[in-house]
Amino acid sequence: MLRLLTPVSQSVFSRASRQYFSTTAKMSDAKLLIYLMRRDLRVADNPVFHSLANQKDQGFTYLLPLYVFPAQQIEVSGFIEGEGKSPYPEARSQVGGFWRCGPRRAKFLAESVWDVKEGLGKVGSDLCIRVGTVGEVLNRLLEEFKDPKVGAVWMIGEEGVEEKREERDARQACENAGVECKILVDEKYLLDEYVAPVPVDDFRTECPQP
């Protein structure tokens, strides 16, 4: 049976995790699944939650839903405690130098993240929220979690150069830690061939020559 793991704050991660797990039963055989959420910010109609709910023996004991505010897309200096300089460059476009995230997008994203957090709270779980890059956050979590051990990291595949770079960084972090990294398919942009009711070739038509 998959149990839900309440995330702890990053600032007291090691201490809080030891306190939490010291009150539980034997953890040596327990396995933790980290679910890295990106654009799939929904509890209902979520392919990962659906897969876990329909598999009686998925091999994991705990689930940790995780969201990372990407420092390369969103200005995260406001998340940094104290008056120290942000370790991340400003989230501006490389050519024009424009801010990559405006106030409306930031508001929508914040509301979406909070909605998922509240939705998970209703089923006894929570959403672990971090700031930075996918690679560094996963490296930290994979290093900190020793008991229970992280069994795998799951995430939904996305389209785009930066999204593929995040997936590459996630795979690298998992490879360094000896952890499985699974990229799942979410049919939200195009109709995949394996779910097409008729052969895909039937949809193809030749364009008339001018």
Q: Within a domain: residue 209?
A: no
Distance CA 127, CA 135 (A): 18
Q: Within a domain: residue 151?
A: yes
Q: Within a domain: residue 158?
A: yes
Number of folded domains that form the chain: 1
Q: Within a domain: residue 165?
A: yes
The pLDDT assigned to 92 comes to: 84
Residue with tokens 């405006």: 102
Q: Within a domain: residue 208?
A: no
Domain holding 164, by residue range, is: 3-203
Q: What is the pLDDT of residues 104-145, one digit of tens each?
A: 988 999 999 999 999 988 888 889 999 888 899 999 988 888
Q: Within a domain: residue 62?
A: yes
Q: What is the pLDDT of residues 77-105, one digit of tens each?
A: 877 776 667 788 888 887 888 888 888 98
Q: Within a domain: residue 210?
A: no
The enclosing domain of 34 has a CATH number of: 3.40.50.620
> In sequence order, what are the residues at sequence separation of 6 or more whose Cβ sits closer than 8 angstroms to the Cβ of residue 91?
71, 72, 73, 74, 75, 76, 99, 100, 101
